[in-house]
Structure 1
Amino acid sequence: MSKRPLRHGSWPSPIGAGAVARHDGMPNWPTAVGEEVWWTEPRPAEKGRVTLRRARLDLPGLPAETVLPAPWNVRSRVHEYGGRPYALVRGAAPDAGPIVVFSEFSDQRLYRCEPGPLRDAAPAGSGGAPTVRPLTPEPEIRAGVRYVEPIVPPGRDEVWCVRETHLGPNPTDVERDIVAVPLDGSGADRPEAIRRVAAGQRFLACPRVSPSGDRLSWIGWDHPDMPWDSTRLYVCDLSADGRAGEVRTVAGGPGEAVVQAEWGADGTLYCVTDPDGWWNPHQIGFAADGGAERAPVNLARREEEFGGPLWQLGSSWLRPLRDGRIAVVHGRATTALGVLSPDSGAIADVTTPHTEWFGRLTSGGAADSWVIGVAAAATLPAEIVAVSTVTGEWRSLTRPRDGDLPDEPFADFLPRPKARTFRGEGGREVHANVYLPHHPTVTGPEGVAPPFVIFVHGGPTSRAPMVHDLEIAYFTSRGIGVAEVNYGGSTGHGRAYRERLRENWGVVDVADSVAVARSLTDEGTADPARTAIRGGSAGGWTTAAALTFTDVFACGTIQYPILDLAGWRTGETHDFESQYLESLVGPWPRERARYEERSPVNHAERITAPFVLLQGLEDEICPPVQCERFLERIAGRVPHAYLTFEGEQHGFRQEATIVAALHAELSLYAQVFGFETDAPALELRR
């Protein structure tokens, strides 16, 4: 069937902003106890809260159940980005069902809930809301004591986790430690019942206790390093009463970043680290007498990544199995789930239609016979997937979601992404994911290149995967192309590629985004007069910098950005990233001139392209004060709009906010590129 020509941007699409918002986010943090698998799930329509869901591996026909009703919000604020916010504890009786311990977003306390078992005949939810009671005390500062990455040490009636305590008014008035929280609730009224287990570094992650209960491992680092720069893996012996002994460093150090460590069933310690420039799996053995550790051994020396950046604590790219093998997530432009044999280094990848596996592995079922993770593809939304290590079969635990299959009604309108490598300045490689406009019955006018939007991911130490994304489809189904740039500094391509951004933030990321835009226009894929740029957080920084220091883009969408490097470095952000710019820009205050020269806020007079600026008013990472300072210097010169959102932190989670932001962005492009749209008109003011 021939397609009818229609002006790019005006194509009719069933993918509305509401559909994007309702399916924003992905199921996350799978955890298993026996046959039960639990995970977190976002609810944009319920003020952006996060709930807990669960299903059973041995009852595939049983629908998934929501455990916690509103207003419970399962989300940690440690480092502001949070991480794995809950743990499961086996019930006292075999048929009692697991106990869940979770971090509640509103006050950041730990709570205990016993919903009972998930049964085929009588689902636990049929008896009403489960009882929830606190395990930690109410802090003096609201949400000032936070917990993340809880674990359950063998043989102990405690949950151990990373605790972050805010001590004063400044963002850097913080201390962190690993603590033991009693499961009986005694710590809720008696803070002294919560016991410190380990401390010593500014940042701590990945606390793990060996199966025999006699050793504790964790990852630590200090300012000015970030967890992808330099970290150390520590181990200490534990006494019978859970007291920590002498601490030893077993991996990591300057120029090496350990991002995960897990104990095998036999007491072997496995970790993901990059002494050779790639995050590969390593094995750390112990002497037969329990003495000195053997040096880490690389189990799969490959120029691909088996790990990623620790933006959220609890990430898991490696999972030792009971039979001695190791489940691993690995790849570069795309990632796969494989099973690694430590003896040979061979990896057998599982066969599923998913092209992206996230660092969220766990295992469950009888004899640890299932590997469970979060996976997606260009035509499959992110879902909780269980793969049998015995038969190789796989199943989704999250589809259907209450009978709603968001991918089916839009299947014909989803773009077909392609991973491409462009040439940037000096001939360097620049990786990007390109999504051409796509519609089943409409095409653009003959000989007319479509408008394009360059998407810049946040981080900047991160990457843009090629997955089902209705936000991208919202544009491509209307005739607007999208290119996601994995600029120099992105993860997925080794340390050398990641460190291209060292002291070059605002230079390399901007140049690489420009290189992709120009390459697309030079080859006739994109219209050079109708190219936009957009991004949030660090991507908002690159967007603002590109609009300030280049003339390539006709307009831009700037979301919760960094705009003033000097302000951000001197107190206008949280502790975790308060010295991030030491590596991205240079030592402060020695390089103060560089900070000021690169900041869009100091060169607002150079911006001539219209833009929309979107900001959450509760953002502790990129606070509104930076936007306000920037707009004071823009006033009266450039058409723009500034939209702020109550109740939103860093990134947008509420349905109404996501809808408003998408409508504003599409309206901007319609006005600048000259097409009609069904989005409400956005008023641009000078």
Structure 2
Amino acid sequence: MASTQAHGSWPSPIDAALAASHDGRPEYAGAVGDELWWTEPRPAEAGRRALVRRTVDGTTTELPAPWNVRSRVIEYGGQPWAGTGRAEGGPLIVFVHFDDQRLYAYEPDGAREPWPLTPVSAVGGGLRWVDPRLHPDRGPAGEVWCVLEEFTGDAPTELRRVIAAVPLDGSAAGDRSAVRELSPERHRFVTGPEVSPDGRRAAWIGWDHPLMPWDGTEVVVADIAEDGTFHGARTLAGGPDESVPQIQWTADGHLLLASDRGGWWNLYRLAPDGGEPVALCPREEEFAAGLWKVGLVWFRPLENGLIATLHGRGTTTLGILDPETGDLVDIAGPWTEWAPTLTVQGSRVVGVAASPHSAYEIVELDTATGHTRIIGAPHEDAIDPAYYPEPVVRTFTGPGGREIHAQVYPPRNPDRTGPDGELPPYVVWAHGGPTSHAGLVLDLEIAYFTSRGIGVAEVNYGGSTGYGRAYRNRLREQWGVVDVEDCAAVAGALAAEGTADPRRLAVRGGSAGGWTTAASLTGTDVYACGTIIYPILDLTGWGTDETHDFESRYLESLVGPLAEVPERYRERSPVTRTDRLTAPFLLLQGEDDPICPPVQCERFLAAVEGRGIPHAYRTYPGEGHGFRRADTMIDAIESELSLYAQVFGFDRPDVVSLELRK
């Protein structure tokens, strides 16, 4: 029988080390012959990404430390590896090593260490590579076709991106001139080239500032000459008001694409010479999402002409689509969120999926039998699942009657219950992006709080993906308004209905969620405190030269053009509104963050100085945008709990008390 204890003070077997060890998810699953490969996080190994191999007999091995398979193109990276099976010598793999961003070749069945294929450049951020595709029959020794990001100066926006060919014989390892550029510089941003089945055409996606890829992209097709270069590049689909985040050739030479031309990312088929795209399964659901990384995959055609596709509204599932009839059959299983990575091996489809009771794992569907099974990174309950939260998917009403989507995680602990008449504290989580989404999945960081008696509400505020283009567009020029209002509306509704203690509400978030947290603390009186993680705090600085190229013009759609509305940038920035700040806060920042640099935090703290607001600032060397090291995550989550304990008035002797200075 559960005993009574104040909310927030409950003992829990989910400690910070356990939560940190389960952070991250497998990514970039791909077939190499009969084998399956993917990347996995290693928080205990300084946050590196391991490249994992699963052979036909089910044995898994990995490329050991120090190899860290992760690209920095557009800073968020993307598909970092490719492979091909060979009749002799076993598979050949190419991958990007994070530390130097060079492409390496690797023969896992050989005795040789991985060897570099590309040179190092001392200019700016150097040479970077992403979305590789192996073409062993191209050129004298075979080639890797991929996206090249090349810095031309020291500023983060002084760079160019093209599709390039890297020779597999290593001749470019010390010679930049040995890298052949295949595509014209039509766009500032490009994805890797998809080659048609007959080898005569290449297709890719491109877009330009100030558009983000969820605003508008173009599908470009070019003819491949005898020397492999691309000629006659032309736009077949897309435009400034149409987002196409993925394309794929079919066996008969048509293009499949995900497009939001109808208001939702749906699947279409397009003739190789253009024409009107044909909708394959028109629904008010999303069959894709925002292209935050280069080479994300939401659908794959099967050999029999059917299409494996992720889709859903809010949550996602895997279905098999008949493009001729529009029939879509979903798989059975508990999974509510599928990562944007799919690969096909004959009749089998492999993806990465999670549920409210299981973390992300590698799932295989055999389309011939309809059976599914877990074949990699299997979820294992490190503690009794009775300590996991039970989420409730809800739709709240915001200003003007608009819908707000959220997942609410009430406190849950089999051994404890709160005292009669005591409402639990709640923390509103604002996701990053902001053009992104909080998935309905098991997150041990959420469970860390809920098992201690603190509720969590994840808000998919206006601007989030998963609910159509109109829902995304609510945030146009309204960042710092709609997101703040929607989070406050959810917090207020939970308090008004008697779910949450109105005096013990907090808000937290990272990156764009850090912005929403800081904007909420300086723009509302809803919250008693907040945790601000690697945030944007000064729009004017961030919108000029304080961030990376990919998002350097993002604010034009989120806030408006700086030259036209400079006062809006100033008025909305938390750094200029610290006179309205009354709530204690915790600020967490990676020292090597190129996206939201520490200068943003330092400027905010200078503005707070002397105002008597209790706060703490924790910085972490070696961390960039998004914490990856176990020791960092442990300190961050325990510091956050200490903040809540001090502000909400409960005891936590199991964590070091965070020093709040004024």
d(CA) in 2 for partners of 1:206, 1:298: 24
Are 1:36 and 2:35 counterparts? Answer: yes
- Partner of residue 507, structure 2: 533
Bigger drift between 148-157 and 512-521 goes to 148-157
- Partner of residue 546, structure 2: 572
One-letter identity of the residue aligned with 2:210: P
Alpha-carbon displacement from aligned partner over 1:47-89 (angstroms, at most 9, x marks no partner):
1111101113x42xx33211x1111111100011001100012
Are 1:205 and 2:191 counterparts? Answer: yes
Contact 1:381 1:407 in 2 (8 A): no
- Partner of residue 376, structure 1: 354
Are 1:548 and 2:526 counterparts? Answer: no
Are 1:63 and 2:50 counterparts? Answer: no
Contact 2:132 2:192 in 1 (8 A): no
Report the alpha carbon displacement of residue 102 of structure 1 after superposing the two structures with TM: 0.5
> Any unmatched runs of 5+ in structure 2?
none
One-letter identity of the residue aligned with 2:120: E
Are 1:685 and 2:661 counterparts? Answer: yes
Are 1:469 and 2:443 counterparts? Answer: yes
One-letter identity of the residue aligned with 2:86: G
- Partner of residue 301, structure 1: 282
d(CA) in 2 for partners of 1:412, 1:72: 37
Contact 1:18 1:659 in 2 (8 A): yes
Q: 2:104 aligns with which of 103, 108, 111?
A: 111
Bigger drift between 509-518 and 152-161 goes to 152-161
Contact 2:136 2:143 in 1 (8 A): no
d(CA) in 2 for partners of 1:384, 1:141: 39
Contact 2:591 2:619 in 1 (8 A): yes
d(CA) in 1 for partners of 2:255, 2:504: 53
Report the alpha carbon displacement of residue 154 of structure 1 after superposing the two structures with TM: 7.4
Bigger drift between 668-677 and 84-93 goes to 84-93
Report the alpha carbon displacement of residue 603 of structure 1 after superposing the two structures with TM: 1.3
Report the alpha carbon displacement of residue 190 of structure 1 after superposing the two structures with TM: 2.6
**TM-score (structure 1 length as normaliser):** 0.94
One-letter identity of the residue aligned with 1:517: A
- Partner of residue 674, structure 1: 649
C-alpha spacing 1:399/1:311, structure 2 compared with 1 (3 Å) = closer
Q: 2:133 aligns with which of 125, 146, 151?
A: 151
What is the SS of the residue equivalent to 2:577?
helix
Report the alpha carbon displacement of residue 4 of structure 1 after superposing the two structures with TM: 1.4
Contact 1:154 1:213 in 2 (8 A): no
Contact 1:264 1:322 in 2 (8 A): no
- Partner of residue 146, structure 2: 161
One-letter identity of the residue aligned with 1:78: V
1:358-397 correspondence to structure 2 within 5 Å: 358-364=339-345, 368-397=346-375
d(CA) in 2 for partners of 1:444, 1:406: 29
One-letter identity of the residue aligned with 2:636: A
d(CA) in 2 for partners of 1:606, 1:572: 25
Alpha-carbon displacement from aligned partner over 1:429-478 (angstroms, at most 9, x marks no partner):
00001101111121111222110000000000000001010000000000
d(CA) in 2 for partners of 1:585, 1:359: 28
Report the alpha carbon displacement of residue 187 of structure 1 after superposing the two structures with TM: 1.3
What is the SS of the residue equivalent to 2:517?
helix
Are 1:46 and 2:45 counterparts? Answer: yes
- Partner of residue 165, structure 2: 180
Contact 1:420 1:434 in 2 (8 A): yes
Contact 2:331 2:370 in 1 (8 A): yes
d(CA) in 2 for partners of 1:191, 1:527: 61
d(CA) in 2 for partners of 1:428, 1:555: 26
Are 1:623 and 2:623 counterparts? Answer: no
Report the alpha carbon displacement of residue 398 of structure 1 after superposing the two structures with TM: 2.0
One-letter identity of the residue aligned with 1:209: V
d(CA) in 2 for partners of 1:353, 1:98: 34
d(CA) in 2 for partners of 1:190, 1:673: 60
Bigger drift between 439-448 and 574-583 goes to 439-448
- Partner of residue 227, structure 1: 213
Q: 1:131 aligns with which of 113, 121, 145?
A: 113
- Partner of residue 119, structure 1: none
Alpha-carbon displacement from aligned partner over 1:96-119 (angstroms, at most 9, x marks no partner):
321110011111110000012xxx
d(CA) in 2 for partners of 1:97, 1:452: 54
Report the alpha carbon displacement of residue 357 of structure 1 after superposing the two structures with TM: 1.2
d(CA) in 2 for partners of 1:142, 1:88: 29
Contact 1:84 1:148 in 2 (8 A): yes
One-letter identity of the residue aligned with 2:114: V
Q: 1:663 aligns with which of 623, 638, 647?
A: 638
- Partner of residue 263, structure 1: 249
- Partner of residue 354, structure 1: 335
- Partner of residue 192, structure 1: 177
d(CA) in 2 for partners of 1:190, 1:556: 51
Report the alpha carbon displacement of residue 33 of structure 1 after superposing the two structures with TM: 1.6
Contact 1:272 1:282 in 2 (8 A): yes
One-letter identity of the residue aligned with 2:354: A
Contact 2:101 2:128 in 1 (8 A): yes
d(CA) in 2 for partners of 1:623, 1:644: 11
d(CA) in 2 for partners of 1:460, 1:275: 21
Report the alpha carbon displacement of residue 240 of structure 1 after superposing the two structures with TM: 2.7
Alpha-carbon displacement from aligned partner over 1:635-656 (angstroms, at most 9, x marks no partner):
1220000000000000100000
- Partner of residue 15, structure 1: 14
Are 1:85 and 2:80 counterparts? Answer: yes
d(CA) in 1 for partners of 2:601, 2:554: 20
What is the SS of the residue equivalent to 1:164?
strand
- Partner of residue 254, structure 1: 240
d(CA) in 1 for partners of 2:421, 2:193: 58
What is the SS of the residue equivalent to 1:618?
coil
Alpha-carbon displacement from aligned partner over 1:531-551 (angstroms, at most 9, x marks no partner):
000000000000000000100
What is the SS of the residue equivalent to 1:590?
coil
- Partner of residue 585, structure 1: 559
Bigger drift between 389-398 and 297-306 goes to 389-398
What is the SS of the residue equivalent to 1:549?
coil
Q: 1:312 aligns with which of 290, 293, 296?
A: 293
Report the alpha carbon displacement of residue 130 of structure 1 after superposing the two structures with TM: 4.9
Percent pairwise identity: 57
Contact 1:536 1:560 in 2 (8 A): yes
**TM-score (structure 2 length as normaliser):** 0.97
What is the SS of the residue equivalent to 2:222?
strand
Report the alpha carbon displacement of residue 142 of structure 1 after superposing the two structures with TM: 7.0
Report the alpha carbon displacement of residue 212 of structure 1 after superposing the two structures with TM: 1.7
d(CA) in 1 for partners of 2:357, 2:636: 24
Q: 2:69 aligns with which of 58, 71, 74?
A: 74
Alpha-carbon displacement from aligned partner over 1:36-55 (angstroms, at most 9, x marks no partner):
00000111111111110111
d(CA) in 2 for partners of 1:226, 1:332: 22
d(CA) in 1 for partners of 2:601, 2:179: 41
Moved over 4 A (4+): none
- Partner of residue 494, structure 2: 520
- Partner of residue 121, structure 1: none
Bigger drift between 23-32 and 183-192 goes to 183-192
1:267-306 correspondence to structure 2 within 5 Å: 267-286=253-272, 292-306=273-287
Report the alpha carbon displacement of residue 241 of structure 1 after superposing the two structures with TM: 2.4
Report the alpha carbon displacement of residue 92 of structure 1 after superposing the two structures with TM: 4.6
Contact 2:124 2:154 in 1 (8 A): no
d(CA) in 1 for partners of 2:124, 2:564: 37
d(CA) in 2 for partners of 1:392, 1:155: 36
Contact 2:583 2:613 in 1 (8 A): yes
